[in-house]
Amino acid sequence: METRSWTRDDLKACLFDFGGTLDSDGVTWQDRFYALYEKHGIQVNREAFRQAFYSADDSLIETGALEGAGLMETLQAQAQRVWGALRLGGESRVLGAIVTDFFDGMKWHIERNRNLLELLKNRYELGIVSNFYGNLHRVCEDLGIQDLFHCLIDSSHVGVVKPDPRIFQAALDRMSIQPYEAVFVGDNPGRDMEGAKGLGMPHIWLAGEDVGRRRPCCPGDPVIPTLDALGPLLLAGRQADTPREVA
């Protein structure tokens, strides 16, 4: 389902992905953790790391091990499971440094984005739709942003994951709005853009440094490098009627 051309005046809500969107500029947790391994001198095969990361992710979700857990506990659990799957052993201080660096980077991006979120909240209802571990609310509390959002949709509580349109519909139902009345902002073209497209919801792709090489999947859905670019799009009345990149 291709989304129709839209303008700011159509919108009542702005929905966000969490990891890779609110806490970085379009870079996934997996890629950020891998970069920190390299920074700290841990050489790991990229494909082996990818498989270990997804395995850790799946096990944390399937077991409900992080239900209600805080942010630091979440990062530590994810990192420890990947570390163990790669059979690295020893050097726990290195793993601790990797987690601390990840946490610091996340906090920096959240604090940078806070002012924009507060401005958006004055005009729209805000929400998060995330494939997460059952503790999205607690993590947002730890980051001090839970009060900015009207709804927090955690896949572990809804029972479906993006790109299944039902997880997006859960947010729309919570807000009592139609798909065309919300715009979704996310960093993953498969999970985020395709999922929103499945409902006919306008979508904005946070593509990070690759913004110049990306094209929207539907006319009128912009591609942006950072969340700051949402200001001109959603707060300044700029019409989104043709595919474009926002620099």
CATH of the domain at 16: 3.40.50.1000
* Rounded-to-integer distance, Cα 191 and Cα 223, Å: 15
Do 73 and 113 reside in the same domain of the chain? no
Domain boundary among 85, 107, 129: 107
Do 21 and 85 reside in the same domain of the chain? no
- Residue 86 near residue 59 (C-beta atoms within 8 A): no
In a domain, 243, yes or no: no
* Rounded-to-integer distance, Cα 145 and Cα 147, Å: 6
Do 134 and 163 reside in the same domain of the chain? yes
Do 121 and 230 reside in the same domain of the chain? yes
Question: What confidence score (pLDDT) does residue 72 get?
Answer: 97
CA distances from 56 to 63, 85, 198 (A): 11, 8, 28
Do 78 and 170 reside in the same domain of the chain? no
Buried b (16+ CB within 10 A) or exposed e, 214-239: bebbbebbbbbbbbebbeebbeeeee
In a domain, 67, yes or no: yes
Do 16 and 129 reside in the same domain of the chain? yes
In a domain, 241, yes or no: no
In sequence order, the β-bridge partners of residue 128 are 16, 152
In a domain, 242, yes or no: no
Do 66 and 94 reside in the same domain of the chain? yes
Residues whose CB falls within 8 Å of the CB of residue 215, separated by 6 or more in sequence, listed in order: 223, 243
Domain boundary among 107, 122, 147: 107
In a domain, 38, yes or no: yes
Do 152 and 179 reside in the same domain of the chain? yes
Do 169 and 96 reside in the same domain of the chain? no
Domain boundary among 89, 107, 125: 107
Do 183 and 121 reside in the same domain of the chain? yes
Do 14 and 132 reside in the same domain of the chain? yes
Question: What confidence score (pLDDT) does residue 243 get?
Answer: 35
Residue-wise pLDDT tens digits, 160-218: 999 999 999 999 999 999 999 999 999 999 999 999 999 999 999 998 887 666 666 77
In a domain, 218, yes or no: yes
Number of domains composing the chain:
2
Question: What confidence score (pLDDT) does residue 247 get?
Answer: 37
Domain that holds residue 51: 29-107
In a domain, 84, yes or no: yes
Do 67 and 113 reside in the same domain of the chain? no
What residue ranges of the chain have pLDDT lower than 50?
Answer: 237-247
What pTM did the predictor assign? 0.90
